[in-house]
Structure 1
Amino acid sequence: MTIASNNNCKHRGGKESEPQKKEQRKATIIAAMTIPMSGDDPQPRLHTDPSVSEQAFKAKVASSVFHSIPFHSAPNPQLTGASPKCRPVVVAANYRSIRDLNRMGFIFGWLPTEHYVRDIFLLTLSAAIAATLMSIRFYLRITAGRCFTETKMEGKTVIITGANSGIGKETAKDLAGRGARVIMACRNLETANAVKDEIIKETNNSKILVKKLDLGSQKSVREFAADIVKTELKIDVLIHNAGMALAFRGQTSEDGVELTMATNHYGPFLLTHLLIDVLKKSAPARIVIVASELYRLSSVNLNKLNPVGSFPAAYLYYVSKFANIYFARELAKRLEGTRVTVNFLHPGMIDSGIWRNVPFPLNLPMMAITKGFFKTTKAGAQTTIYLATSDEVANVNGKYFMDCKEATLNAAALDEEKGRKIWEESLKIAKLTPQDPKI
């Protein structure tokens, strides 16, 4: 092996044996270069092994036979007597500069450069950011609530809206696994039937029904409720899970109601009224409403309870969740003494289909955030399952839960007078008639 040197370095090695030469050429094709710490020539030069052809070198590179000699604080044993100013670095034969190697894709990023301090700072900063993000992700995972109750649900009938995907699907699967008779109230029957088959297969519970329900259509809500009243003797748990969020462009339902509000608030409001008599006959019964902590980012304008074209569609999702909270609190107050309890919850930020309407390219960072930091749908369903099954909350009414424990609301959400006014206006927008059940 030929060892190159500059004026400060001298090679004092002995003669190599033939086996050593053969092994050297078989293992790798390298030459040694010393980079002076000082000197007039800023461009490091490679000293090549003339016995190695460029074609042979490229063949070795292609087969990934490329090795490096690490830095040593002590002189390299192959460079006996070498000056401390010399740094031995293995390089490829027959290439005249590091720039030539970089063109081939070899980046000597581990070599200290004139930007050494900057590089170390950037590396440290990157590591700190990565560690912080991982810590946040770990914290969110370990603090997420989990329903540990093993309550069985045999003989119980549960209605779950939006049970064909997301946390609704996970809720249906869990309750079916506990033996409940589950009615999946869904808009997309094809998807719902596929999920039904999946749940039956996983839980070995065939008591799963699929019924058509589009909460954005008052006609669909009334048809669904009429079918339930006609066919079901009791409803033990009603779970208002379905929800939708539009991104920017709002839509109007067939009833002239802003679609997000129609689906998330007025539909559940109407459905609860139409089923309330069956729920009371089934007492003790439970109503569980999936709200959201995002209510804190909004306020409900009493003069625009049907905000068609008034606000960005994404903002109306927050408004609808605030309306859910006013509805749940007022409903709980009106049902006191009936043994029908009402509780509502924040499931957490969930990696679910609710974000599918975020447009490109905003969906790209949103996808990274949801996959990295949001709860899974199974984790997001835990508080819903807890409120539907746990004996701990059998007599709890009108409370807000998060991660399977009671949480606090802001002062605006506790405004009972505003909640009453929203109720009265909702009766009109949902077009409830004197012949409909009263709450």
Structure 2
Amino acid sequence: MMFGVNHIGHFLLTNLLLDRLKECEPSRVVSLSSVAHNFGTINFDCLNTHKALGLGTSFMEVLQIYSDSKLCNVLFTHELAKRLQGTKVTCYCLHPGAINSELARNTNSVMQMVLKPLTAFFFKDTIQGSQTTLHCAVQEGIELLNGRYFSNCTVREVYAKAKDDAAAKKLWELSERLSGLA
């Protein structure tokens, strides 16, 4: 489910809108990722067999799957930028920061008590957390940074695995099949 929500849904929506984005150029595609992508891996065997990035329900297994899905966001942006060369449609992905939101509202009360002081003091509020997204959506002059990853409104370098051309292409082709585009 996490792979579907965090990657396949965005992949499909973006591809369904691409013709319109090209008609209305200049246009931008902004994908939310996370710094957690640094800890992600993509197990293509598991994806092909189970249509899932990983299996498991423990906290650590779910955190790993989340990180894997966020790596998919970065690879998607990398591949999309290559495919959009020669158009005036650009794309960016970003880490919005750790945001004090209602994401943990369904966790148990002990976890909520532990998280509340941490999020209140160390996380961004939702307005602060939206700034990098807005920057990538409307900032003039960043078109040359097409396909890049941002954090705190600044372009950041990513590990080699997040700009691996072969993995990005393989993920794209698999995503086309899984989303019904191929």
Which TM-score applies when normalising by structure 1?
0.38
Q: Which residue of 2 aligns with 1:266?
A: 8
Match of 1:295 among 37, 57, 66: 37
- Alpha-carbon offset, residue 410 of structure 1: 1.1
C-alpha RMSD of the superposition: 1.6
Task: Compare 371-380 and 314-323 and name the one that shifted more.
Answer: 314-323
| Structure 1 residues 152-204: Cα deviation after superposition (integer angstroms, max 9, x where no partner) | xxxxxxxxxxxxxxxxxxxxxxxxxxxxxxxxxxxxxxxxxxxxxxxxxxxxx
Q: What's the counterpart of residue 427 of structure 1?
A: 176
Counterpart residue number, 1:342? 91
Give the whole-Å Cα distance in 2 for the aligned partners of 1:309 and 1:397: 30
How much has 1:426 moved relative to structure 2?
Answer: 0.8
Kindly provide the amino acid, as one letter, of the partner of residue 310 in structure 1.
L
Distance in 2, Cα, partners of 1:366 & 1:410: 29
Name the CA shift for 1:357/1:419 in 2 (closer, same or farther; >3 Å).
Answer: farther
Question: In structure 1, the residue corresponding to 2:65 is in which secondary structure?
Answer: helix
Q: Distance in 1 between matches of 2:54 and 2:148?
A: 33
Looking at secondary structure, tell me which structure has more helix per residue.
2
Partner residue in 1 for 2:52: 307
Change (3 A) 1:285 1:398: same
1:283 aligned partner: 25
What's the secondary structure of 1:343's corresponding residue? Answer: strand
Q: Secondary structure at the match of 2:45?
A: coil
- For the pair 1:322 / 2:67, whether they are aligned, the reply is no
Instruction: Report if aligned partners of 2:33, 2:73 keep a CA contact under 8 Å in 1.
Output: yes
Is the 2:132–2:150 Cα contact (8 Å) retained in structure 1?
yes
State whether residues 8 and 179 of structure 2, in contact with CA within 8 Å, keep that contact through their aligned partners in structure 1.
yes
Provide the identity percentage: 37
Partner SS for 1:304 = helix
d(CA) in 1 for partners of 2:76, 2:14:
11
The structure whose Rg is larger is 1
Task: For 2:96 and 2:52, locate their aligned partners in 1 and report how far apart those are by CA, in whole Å.
Answer: 26
Please list every run of 5 or more consecutive structure 2 residues that lacks an aligned counterpart in the other structure.
none
1:315 Cα deviation after fit: 2.6
Tell me, in whole angstroms, the C-alpha distance in 2 between the residues paired with 1:344 and 1:308: 20
Per the TM alignment, residue 354 of structure 1 is displaced from its structure 2 partner at its CA by 2.7
After superposition, where does 1:112-261 map in structure 2 within 5 Å? 259-261=1-3
What secondary structure, in the 3-state scheme, does the structure 2 residue paired with 1:288 have?
Answer: strand
What amino acid sits opposite 1:347 in the alignment? P
For the residues of structure 2 that align with 1:361 and 1:398, how far apart are their CA atoms? 40
- Residue 100 (structure 2) aligns with: 351
**In 2: Cα distance, 1:270 partner to 1:377 partner:** 27
CA 1:284–1:377 in structure 2 vs 1: closer, same or farther (change >3 Å)?
A: same
Query: Aligned with 2:145: secondary structure?
Result: coil
1:392 aligns with 2:134: no
Letter in 1 for 2:75: Y
**Equivalent AA in structure 1 for residue 101 of structure 2:** S
In the alignment, the residues of structure 2 paired with residue 358 and residue 315 of structure 1 have an alpha-carbon distance, to the nearest angstrom, of 18
Structure number with the bigger relative contact order (C-alpha 8 A, sep ≥ 6) is: 2
Distance change >3 Å, CA 342–CA 292, structure 1 → 2: same
1:363 Cα offset (Å): 2.5
